[in-house]
Structure 1
Amino acid sequence: MEKSNATYLVEFILLGFSDLPNLRSFLFGTFLVIYLCILIGNGLLIFITKTNPTLQTPMYFFLGNFSFLEICYTSVTLPRILRDIWAQKGNIPFLSCAVQIGFLYILGIAECLLLAVMAYDRYVAICKPLYYPLIMNHRTCVQMVIASWITAIPVQIGVTYYIFSLNFCGHNKLNHIFCDASPLLEIAFGDTYQREIAVHVNTFFFVIIPFLLILISYLKIIVNILKLPSTSGKSKAFSTCSSHLIVVFLFFGSASIVYLRPKSSQSAKSDKLFAVFYTIVTPVLNPLIYSLRNKDVIVALKKLLPKSCCS
C-alpha cells in the first residue's frame, strides 16, 4: 500500500506565501523588481569584467564568474516563485521538484567553493604579492573556477536521489517557497533520520569547511594588512576585502542557520525568511556591494553610462 501511494504521487504543492493573500500583488511586484535587478546588476558586472582592459585580473575574473553563478542560482527558484504568486497555486511535478533541488544544491555549493577561491586569491595578492602573478596565472584561475562548478555535482546528485528515494504517501503539501530538503523530510513517510544526517554532513563538508577556510584566509590577510606601513595601503586593502567578507557572512550565515539547525527548532516561517535571504537578497546585494565599494568597478561603470547621467 505504501509503495502504491508513493508510486502515484505525481506532484507536490508549494504553499509559499498562500497565507498572505492580501500581499499577493506587493510580493509579486517586489520579487519581480528584485529579479530584474539581479539580472541587470550581475549582468553589468559580467560585461565590464569581460570588456574593460583595466579589470583583466584574477580578482575580476572570479567576480565575473561569481556574478554569472548568482544569476543561475537565483533563476532556479525565483521564476517559479513569481509564477506561483501570480497563478495563486504552487503545484510542482515530482520530477521538477527533484531537478530544482539538484540544481539548487549544485549551484549553492559552487557558490560556496567559489567564495573560498576568491578568498584565497585575496590571500595570495596581499600576503604573497611577489608570487601572485606566478601562482594565480590564467590557467590556474580557470581550473579553480571549473573545479568550483563541478566538484560537488556527483555528491549533490547523490544527496538529491537519497532524499527522493523516500516514500511520500498521501500528504504532498510543502510549507516552503521552493523545493528543499527540510519540508520534504517533514512529509516523508517512515524514518528520515539517516537523510537528515546526510543533509547535515553535506552542509558541513561543502558549506562549513569552505567558510572556515575563508575565515583563516582573512585572518592571515588582516594580520598582513596591519603590518603595512602606508595608511592608504591599509585602507585600500581593507576596502577590497571587506566587500568580499560582507557577501560571505550574508550568504553563509543564512544558509548555515537553515541547514544546520536541529529539526526541533525549525519553523516554516523562519525557514522561508532565511531562504529568501540566501537565495534572493544576497544575489541582489552582490553587485551593489562590489560596485559601491570598488573604485575600479565604479570607474568602469561610469564609462558605460551616458555623459549626461554621469554629470
Structure 2
Amino acid sequence: MQSKNFDVIVIGGSYSGLSAGMALGRSLRNVLIIDEGKPCNRQTPHSHNFITHDGKTPKEITELAKKDVEKYESVQFCDGKVIRVGKHIDGFYAELSSGDTLYAKKMILASGVKDIMPEIPGFAECWGISVIHCPYCHGYEVRNEVTGILADGDMAYEFSKLVFNLTKELTLFTNGKTTLSSEQIEKLKQNKIHLNEDEIKSIEHENGYTQKVIFTNGKTISLKALYAKIPFEQNINILDLGCELTEHGFIKVDFMQRTSVSGVFACGDNTTMMRSVANAVAQGNFAGAMVNKELSEEAF
C-alpha cells in the first residue's frame, strides 16, 4: 500500500464491503478496503438463500468475491483492525492498530456487528451451526426437526410465527419467567407451540451441533436446532464520527445508504435486521454507486 490518501475507504471486506468496492472500482475510484478477517458467520458451515452460491461456505463466497474485486486496479486491500475513525479537514481518517492512519474523501462503513453471546455454556460453540439467527438463511436445512426458539416478549411471539411454518415440533424457551401476554400465550397454545420458562444451564452438543438443552432444575430436552435473538454491538466506534443509531442499535441510513454524517455511508449487517448475504451484497452495490454519484457531482 503506497498511498495513504484515497477517494473512498471501505471498512469491512466481507459481502457488503466487497460489493461496494466493485461498484467503485468499476467507476475508476481510488479505493481502500480494510478488513480484520473476522466475519460474524465464520463458524457457519454453509450459506444459503443467495442465488448462484446456495450451499457454499461463507469463506468460499468471500474468496470468490475478493478475486472478482481484485481485477479492478484502483481497488486496494489492507489486512488490519480499525481502532478509530473520525473527521479530517479533507474528509475522514481511519487509524489502524498497526499505527497507520489512512485518509479519504468518503467513507463506507461495512463493518458488520459483533454478536454478544449469553453466558450459557455451549451456546457460543453452536452459534451459526445449530444455534441460528435466521429462518431464511438456515431454516430449510432444519425443517421438520425438533426445534427451539430462545427469546421472549413480542420479539419471541413474532419470531414464532416464522419458525412455525418450518416445523410442528417447536418450543419457545424464555429462559425465565415470560413477559408474553396472556393473549400471546393462548395463541401459542392454539398453534401447538410449547412454552418453556425454565432457566437454561447449558447446551449439550457435538462439534457445535445441539443435542440437548439442560436446565438448572435438572430437566433436559433433546433438540436439533435452536433459533436465538441475541444482542449485538457495532464493530466500529461510530460515535467518533457522530453517526446516529436507530432505536435498535443499527446505523441509521437513508434510502441512499447515507448516514447522518455527510460523506459517510453504511451498508450490510450494521444497518439492518435483515442479516443475509444477498441483502449485504445488494446494499453494498448500491452504497458504492451512491458514493460514486456524490463524488462525481462534487467534481463536475
TM-score over 0.5 for the pair: no
TM-score, structure 1 as length reference:
0.31
TM norm structure 2: 0.32
Q: Which has the higher strand share?
A: 2
Q: Relative CO higher for 1 or 2, CA cutoff 8 Å, sep ≥ 6?
A: 1
Higher helix share: 1
